[in-house]
Chain A
């Protein structure tokens, strides 16, 4: 482990995947440790994440010459029933894993180091089957209070198998679930810049590096500052026509509780944590805790601009620490 600095209670490895089969769909992820995000106040914050090695052939992944990448990390999108390979390549400077949150594979493929391996100096292929359509996310499970905070996560969507009775291109939230026209993936997260200066192994051998003491200053939606940029960012704000149906995949990607309010619109929540609800739940707001997902069908009945707010709540006091905003524009 030369060059990687001392780390404790890590379980390095990159073995062959047990019972590896040919996948229906494959993703190839590297990592970057030198990304950055420009905030609305003009300051930059260091971001880590996963790269798409298939999209950037020849990119050396995993540390020796890590390079910036997208934030959030590139989404993984598959179809229900598919056997999926997510391979992760990590160099010899640090360790990471991919935990497909809400996906429930075997121990070896769950991405939890102390039950399997923290990927180091090689490639591991996570093999799993996409059994339930819905909204998930993937994230690193090494020194997670730091690595997830640094941005090592991305969306994970399982689409239902198309119904033979549906016109081609029909989009449903889950098998026989509601049809939607427009989709938004809102991964809402809070950033404490004080943590974004730490090394990958900070605190693993002991010592107080402040991982219990979380003071977020930025509040973001899908990698965009929610102070003002997310109001109009085309990757975040929803533009839809009256009569259309939107599916908002809301992911509580931070650590503190959150409250999302849909700007006066009513959402029909049809699924949560990758499972359809027995009955849809109508609500104008959702209070969620870390890693919960809610799939929200929104069908506005009047044109207008609806300002969606996500409040981030202190885990002890419940105080609103900050608010991220975006819009649903209905024309």
Chain B
């Protein structure tokens, strides 16, 4: 179905149906709780937009389900995180929650988990830990590129609207987790071959998916098309300020570009910025780069006549990332921003 006629016809209705299944939902508690989650380190293959099958590893939700990225965890300061990680693969792996700021020690780690073994994390989350975290495997420098990564959101105690105590407020939140895929690396791991020392990524994903343009196979399918994936797609009405917890698990630095609104840039690599800049393009570093920003869902300021609805892209502006297999523009790391 053509995206544009689809959007004109019934886009809002479908989006409403999907809403809430992808956004991080959060209700603050006055009491601390224990948040339990089990991940299965597993592997499998995924078809890329050009049909090429690529091998991945993941922190799966089940023994066999490839979860790219891992299902995120959201909790609040004071909670206890109880994470179980079962390694179903032949190689040793681990599960490390990186520190909030670059250079911080890890928040927690399972240590090495041998093949068939189980690792655990039991962590009482201290106050002041609120923020966006990345968890990943660092047994090798490249394991996180293979898909062993995910996001952890720690909310300030008692708050559902702030990133950190006193931050600008939001109504909704989600993770945008970017990855870059060089199948030569994935193949080498799958086949126990020599690990390449240089990388040329050919596929680019947001929350594990690439975009599809109208007319393409998989277009509009939230399990295939990153534009339609409720984990990634921004869908809101005026005032639906949405916190973007942006993580770079991949090998490339990127430029995160939103249409229709500037973002409010709150943090860079876990550090709260001294003042909030309004940016349409944000420099997301590689090597575990992180950004928190708020997409304000204000009326697009330069529309004439004024509008409150519309459809726009968020895409990476380093345009190589908008391709798949060396071509196929619009099959890369992009999602939709829908004003409803």
Of B202, B215, B326, most A-chain CB atoms within 10 Å? B326
Could you say which of A202, A205, A210, A211 has the most chain B C-beta atoms within 10 Å of its C-beta? A211
| Contacts A110-B312, A316-B286 given; does A127 touch B255 at CB 8 Å | no
The listed residue (A144, A213, A272, A317) touching B322 by CB distance below 8 A is A144
In Å, the complex CA distance between A292 and B198 comes to 27
Q: Are A206 and B313 touching (Cβ within 8 A)?
A: no
A290 close to B303 (CB less than 8 A)? no
A274-304 at interface with B (beta carbon < 8 Å):
274-275, 277-279, 287-292
| Chain A 1-58 residues near chain B, CB threshold 8 A | 8-9, 11, 19, 21
| Closest-CB distance, A262 to chain B (whole angstroms) | 19
Enumerate chain B residues within 8 angstroms of A19, measured Cβ to Cβ: 305
Let me know if A166 is at the binding interface, CB within 8 A.
no
B27-35, B161-169, B229-237, B271-279 - interface stretch: B271-279
Q: How far is the CA of A114 from the CA of B212 in the complex (A)?
A: 10
**CA gap between A205 and B201 in the complex, in Å:** 19
Which residues in chain A, 149-190, are within 8 Å of chain B measured between CB atoms?
A: 149
Contact, CB under 8 Å: A128 / B50 = no
Which B80-113 residues sit within 8 Å CB-CB of chain A?
none
In the complex, how many angstroms separate the beta carbon of B95 from the nearest chain A beta carbon?
A: 25
Determine which residue in A83, A104, A210 has the highest number of CB atoms from chain B within 10 A of its CB, and name it.
A104
How distant is B203 from chain A, measured CB to nearest CB, in Å?
8
B329 touching A211 by the CB < 8 A rule? yes
Which residues from chain A contact B274 at a C-beta distance below 8 Å? 279
- A207–B327 CB distance below 8 A: yes
A-B contact count, CB below 8 Å?
A: 195
Question: Which A residues are in CB contact (< 8 Å) with B307?
Answer: 106-107
Closest to B261 in A: A104
B-chain residues with CB within 8 Å of residue A209 when the two chains form the complex: 326-327
Which of the residues A109, A114, A132, A288 comes within 8 Å of B3, measured between beta carbons?
A: A114
Contact indicator A105/B326 (Cβ below 8 Å): no
- Residue ID in chain A nearest B281 by CB atoms: A291
Closest approach, in angstroms, between the C-beta of B114 and any C-beta of chain A? 31
Report the Cα distance A292→B251, complex, angstroms: 21
Tell me the complex Cα distance, A103–B280, Å. Answer: 9
B residues less than 8 Å from A210 (CB atoms): 326
0/1 interface trace, chain B 230-265, chain A, CB 8 Å (1 if under): 000000000000000000000111110101111000
Contact indicator B255/A9 (Cβ below 8 Å): no
B323: nearest chain-A partner, CB-CB:
A211
| Size range of the chain B interface in the assembly | 35 or more
Q: How far is the CA of A210 from the CA of B329 in the complex (A)?
A: 11
Interface bits B192-229 vs A (CB < 8 Å: 1, else 0): 00000011111000000000011110000000000000
The answer to whether the Cβ of B54 comes within 8 Å of any Cβ in the partner chain is no
A210 and B323 CA atoms in complex are apart in Å by: 10
What's the least CB distance linking B176 to chain A, in Å? 15
Q: Chain A 106-136 against B: per-residue CB contact (8 Å), 1 yes, 0 no?
A: 1101101011100000000001111110000
B residues at A contact (CB < 8 Å): 3-4, 50, 198-202, 213-216, 251-255, 257, 259-262, 274-284, 286, 300-305, 307, 310-313, 317-320, 322-323, 325-330
Q: List 16 A-B contacts (CB under 8 A).
A: A9-B216, A11-B4, A102-B262, A106-B307, A115-B312, A131-B302, A206-B328, A211-B323, A212-B323, A273-B278, A275-B277, A278-B275, A289-B255, A290-B257, A292-B255, A315-B254
A interface residues with partner B (beta carbon < 8 Å): 8-9, 11, 19, 21, 83, 100-107, 109-110, 112, 114-116, 127-132, 143-146, 148-149, 202-214, 252, 255-257, 272-275, 277-279, 287-292, 313, 315-318
**A105-B303, A145-B322, A207-B326 provided; 20 other pairs, C-beta below 8 A?**
A9-B330, A104-B280, A110-B260, A114-B330, A127-B304, A128-B304, A145-B323, A204-B327, A204-B328, A212-B202, A272-B279, A273-B281, A275-B262, A275-B279, A287-B283, A291-B255, A291-B257, A315-B252, A316-B199, A316-B252
